[in-house]
Amino acid sequence: MSDKYTRFVSHGLGKDIAKRLGLPQPVALRRHEPGRPLIEGPVLVQGSTSGADDLAATLLAWNLDVRRHAIPKEKLGAIILVLDELAHPGDLEKPVLTAAASLRDLAPNARVITVSRTADSATEPAAAAARQGVDGLLRSLAKELRAGATGNGVLLADGARTTSPATLGALRFFLSGRSAFVDGQFLTVSSGAGQLPDDVEKPLAGKVAVVTGAARGIGAAIARTLYRDGATLILVDIPAAGDHLAEVANEVHGTALQLDISRNDAGQRIIDHAATRHGRLDILIHNAGITRDKLLANMDAGRWNSVIAVNIAAQLRINEALLASEHFGDAPRIVSVASTSGIAGNRGQTNYAASKAGVIGMVRATAALIGERGGSINAVAPGFIETEMTARIPFATREVARRLNSLQQGGQPGDVAEAIAFLASDAAGGISGEVLRVCGQNLVGA
Amino acid sequence: MSVNGPSVPRPQPAPAPAAGTSAVEAAAGKKEHGGAASSQLRRAVVVGGNRIPFARTGGAYTKSSNQDMLTAALDGLIARFGLQDERIGEVAAGAVLKHSRDFNLTREAVLGSALSAETPAYDLQQACATGLETVLGLANKIKLGQIDSAIAGGVDSASDAPIAVSEGLREVLLDLNRAKTVSRKLQVLSRLRPKDLAPDAPNTGEPRTGLSMGEHQALTTAQWKITREAQDELAFNSHRHLAAAYDAGFFDDLLTPYRGLSRDSNLRADTSLEKLATLKPVFGKNLGAAATMTAGNSTPLTDGASTVLLASEEWADAHDLPKLATIVDGEAAAVDFVHGKDGLLMAPAFAVPRLLARHNLTLADFDFFEVHEAFAGTVLSTLAAWEDEEFGRTRLGLDGAFGSIDRTKLNVNGSSLAAGHPFAATGGRIVASLAKMLHAQGQVNGRPARGLVSICAAGGQGVVAILEAL
């Protein structure tokens, strides 16, 4: 989907006009392309703890150009602010203000990433205050960054270290172009589980994945991204969308399974197909969803029930079937598509928001269940994404919606797919029960 | 034409491997004491199928060519079974109404599909039996070990039908091409007459009788005294069964939508016997009160395509693909309709008894009957002939009537009256659907569920086949 405004203000006269009038100046975001480096330019690891030292050593081993001290005027690809030993809010000053001196040296599409500890695992009020302080700091800083640069944070729960697999996995994700439209967000690493891939270009090699709602839009983008990352795919969509589904399946060398996920036997049919064709299933992506918008005062049972049935009841039933199956992998992964509507609410979407908030509740509650078999479950909540669906929003409403975030543009279906592919990978094994927003730090709901 | 005394020796059927030997194959093997050569034959199995919804002519597929539709049906099959870039042993398909430019229709469709470009293909044409004959021919190649995998199919468009120039214009154009000089060219052109410019549109009339298929069937329907009510009931059941099959999700893994259609456009889920009774006869109108064939109990011209994935058991296993049913055997027959000895579409009435005799089977040994509904009258005339003692004795050489079928086993998920009938695509539709039904049924009375396919065809021909559940 084209964003003519972003192209207009990207160079020449348009750029000049936008600057003079103080109009939004979105830039073309850096997105992941196979073979490209993780990040361009040096990475400044700010912080003096042993956790920071360990992390810097690991990044060096990735052949990144690591700095422990900024060189004035040198353009930086990223700043990693390690704040893993905060005991009091006063501890923030030194590392934060030191990093602040380098902010003007950030290259376009740079990254600022905090690594700190979860506040609710602190026993001392002062430590909790300091840790929670990082939340406000990072979210505000993300809003100050310009030119496609983003700010995100990794939160370490008890039992997670700065060099735990999932910490490193999350860092890689945030540093890379895979997180282009993720801004102002935190991911909590809750354990030392997970494993970094042997081949960083094929993190899903050998995995069998199911994607629901894969015939078009975000679902098709998820299929393409998972295929690029090495997964073997089973694509599901309603029978009426079978022609588009077949096209995507043939493109990604997968199989098309025409199935209404709201059928009672949908989970079993998915398992049967995966078991017959591949002997097992490793990854399930719940992407299928519908909208039937209406103000609640005008809501009818048909609209309400169909949205609940497809968007959340089907996911619950399919999860139950999969978790009961011996064929659902050794380290099974489930990633659900939620929505920022389910977090902040949206006028006319009481049914949709209820279903998507339901997805968030389901993900949090299922984390323990799937954790028992060494797996993980997470959700991704997209904000304004440029799809056929959002292209139908009236022009003015659409323009406002897509500018109302820190990156001043809509995301691409591939941006949602990248977040899902990461959470479906073993590198994210220590992350579970989380909801990651892919919204460019939307002013609503963030 | 005696069942027990075929004039031409027939090839012996293939005894199955010892394990999982079916009743049919065991009995046949014993009877024919299969020799060393035939013991090397292996089974050909149906893995699955895919078709596009069938559309009434002039509807959703008006702008789609045979190649477009066949390619779409192939791509849906490839997507269902993950056959991208796979080199299939051979693909065979065909069309009844075919442009001369489509001389390599199937190969062109393969090249336009997601299959490996190294997949060979050939075209086949046997009127409405085309689709079933591609299944039988390819199954035989698999049984012989010539190929391990195959896709059978068929397609037809009555919307995008070829229109030929008149014979007069064609001769002038050919002579013009051969003419060397300007004066000779002018001489040739001067032969052209206005009437030569009228195009020669295709029709379904029989070249030797000038009668349309419907008019032929009207004679047969009257001969067998098939009532209007019985025909309407068959049509009603076809629609009812097909609609129920769609609602139950039966076609979820047999069909891929195309050009906005996700169900056959001829299907009338809300039709009733009362509505069908209001329709006026369209065939056999000169028969007076015996005119019983309406647009409701006759199949309309239809566009569509179907495909069936066949394989050896080894190939299916190696590819982790399902095995639904085996193609046990097939038989073709033809009748002398030109001299009125038998009705145009009555050949299956002879093919089925011959095929069943070869396997020591009776109609009671089948769990599903898939009798193609060219017209309701065709199905009912065939059943009437089988139940007729006179026909059994004089035409089939039996002691009495051939037998009757349990009507609850007939076309249980609907057939051509509801789905429509794109000529060459009907065989693939039936074989894939039947294979799925057989697999779901599994074993019956300690033997594999068994199904009979019967398809009549223009030119007084018919092709029938036996499938068994795996």
CB B56 within 8 A of CB B300: yes
CB distance B72–A243 less than 8 Å? yes
Percent share of chain A, pLDDT over 70: 97
CB distance B76–A279 less than 8 Å? no
* CA separation, residue B68 to residues A165, B48, B77, B305, B309 (Å): 50, 21, 14, 9, 19
CB B258 within 8 A of CB A243: yes
Report chain B's mean pLDDT, rounded to a whole number. Answer: 89
Say whether pLDDT at A405 is over 90: no
CB distance B320–A279 less than 8 Å? yes
Say whether pLDDT at A105 is over 90: yes
Say whether pLDDT at B164 is over 80: no
What per-residue confidence (pLDDT) applies to B10? 44
What per-residue confidence (pLDDT) applies to B64? 94
Q: How do A232-237 and A255-258 pair as beta strands?
A: parallel
Span A166-183, mean pLDDT?
96
Among all residues of chain B, which has the CA nearest to that of A239? B252
Q: Give Cβ neighbours of residue B73 (< 8 Å, ≥ 6 apart).
A: B50, B51, B52, B153, B155, B256, B305, B306, B307, B425
Percent share of chain B, pLDDT over 90: 74
Smallest CA–CA distance, residue A349 to chain B, in Å, is 28
Cα–Cα distance measured from residue A58 to residue B137, given in angstroms and rounded to the nearest whole number: 63
- Chain B environment of A240 (Cβ under 8 Å): 257, 262
Nearest to A413 by CA among A238, A235, A247, A219: A219
What per-residue confidence (pLDDT) applies to B33? 43
Smallest CA–CA distance, residue B15 to chain A, in Å, is 28
What per-residue confidence (pLDDT) applies to A444? 63
Smallest CA–CA distance, residue B257 to chain A, in Å, is 5
Interface of B with A (CB under 8 A): 72, 75-76, 78-82, 84-85, 114, 249, 251-253, 255-259, 262, 320-322
CB B326 within 8 A of CB B466: no
Read off the pTM: 0.87
Q: How far apart are the first and last CA of chain B?
A: 34
Among all residues of chain B, which has the CA nearest to that of A263? B249
**B109: pLDDT confidence band, cut at 50, 70 and 90?**
very high
**A2: pLDDT confidence band, cut at 50, 70 and 90?**
low
Catalytic residue positions of B, numbered: 128, 421, 456
Per residue in A58-76, pLDDT (tens digit) is 999 998 999 999 888 899 9
- Chain A environment of B51 (Cβ under 8 Å): none
Span A46-57, mean pLDDT?
92
Interface of A with B (CB under 8 A): 239-243, 245-247, 249-250, 253-260, 263, 276-279
Mutation for B interface: A250, A264, A269, most B CBs within 10 A? A250
Say whether pLDDT at B15 is over 60: no
- φ/ψ region of A225 (left if φ > 0, alpha if ψ in -120 to 50, else beta) reads alpha
Q: Taking the CA of residue A52 as centre, how many other CA atoms within 13 Å lie in the half-sphere pointing to its CB?
A: 23
Closest in A242, A250, A278 to B257, CB measured: A242
Q: Taking the CA of residue A24 as centre, how many other CA atoms within 13 Å lie in the half-sphere pointing to its CB?
A: 19
Q: Which of B6-20, B172-186, B345-359 has the lowest mean pLDDT?
A: B6-20
Higher pLDDT, B191 or B258: B258
Say whether pLDDT at B293 is over 90: yes
CB distance B255–A255 less than 8 Å? no
Record the tokens describing residue A9, joined without a space. Answer: 């203000």
Say whether pLDDT at B161 is over 80: no
With respect to CATH, is domain A31-189 assigned 3.40.50.720? yes
Span A411-430, mean pLDDT?
96
Q: Which of A24-28, A188-192, A252-256, B337-341 has the lowest mean pLDDT?
A: A24-28
> At residue B237, what is the residue type?
N
Nearest to A285 by CA among A378, A193, A374: A378
Cα–Cα distance measured from residue B206 to residue B338, given in angstroms and rounded to the nearest whole number: 9
- Chain B environment of A227 (Cβ under 8 Å): none
Among all residues of chain B, which has the CA nearest to that of A259? B252
Catalytic entry in A174, A181, A304, A352: A352
Torsion of CA A200, A202, A208, A214, to 10 degrees: 110
CB distance A255–B80 less than 8 Å? yes
Record the tokens describing residue B224, joined without a space. Answer: 């067998």
CB distance A250–B258 less than 8 Å? no
CB distance A276–B322 less than 8 Å? yes
What per-residue confidence (pLDDT) applies to B27? 43
A208-438 has the same fold as A31-189: yes
Say whether pLDDT at B307 is over 70: yes
**A431: pLDDT confidence band, cut at 50, 70 and 90?**
very high
The ipTM is 0.85
CB distance A278–B320 less than 8 Å? yes
Nearest to A257 by CA among A208, A185, A309, A191: A208
Per residue in A274-305, pLDDT (tens digit) is 999 999 999 999 999 998 999 999 999 999 99
- Report domain extents, chain A: 1-30, 31-189, 208-438
> At residue A97, what is the residue type?
L
Per residue in A222-244, pLDDT (tens digit) is 999 999 999 999 999 999 999 99
Is A352 known to be catalytic? Answer: yes
With respect to CATH, is domain A208-438 assigned 3.40.225.10? no
Nearest to A319 by CA among A348, A272, A285, A275: A285
**B31: pLDDT confidence band, cut at 50, 70 and 90?**
very low
Smallest CA–CA distance, residue B71 to chain A, in Å, is 12
- Chain B environment of A253 (Cβ under 8 Å): 82, 84-85
Span B405-422, mean pLDDT?
96
- Chain A environment of B84 (Cβ under 8 Å): 250, 253
Q: How many CB pairs under 8 A join A and B?
A: 66
Closest in A240, A263, A276 to B257, CB measured: A240
Smallest CA–CA distance, residue A241 to chain B, in Å, is 7
CB distance B79–A249 less than 8 Å? yes
Smallest CA–CA distance, residue B414 to chain A, in Å, is 19
Percent share of chain A, pLDDT over 90: 77
Say whether pLDDT at A406 is over 90: no
Closest in A245, A258, A277 to B82, CB measured: A277
Say whether pLDDT at A8 is over 80: no
What per-residue confidence (pLDDT) applies to A342? 86
Span A207-233, mean pLDDT?
97
**B202: pLDDT confidence band, cut at 50, 70 and 90?**
low
Span B175-198, mean pLDDT?
83
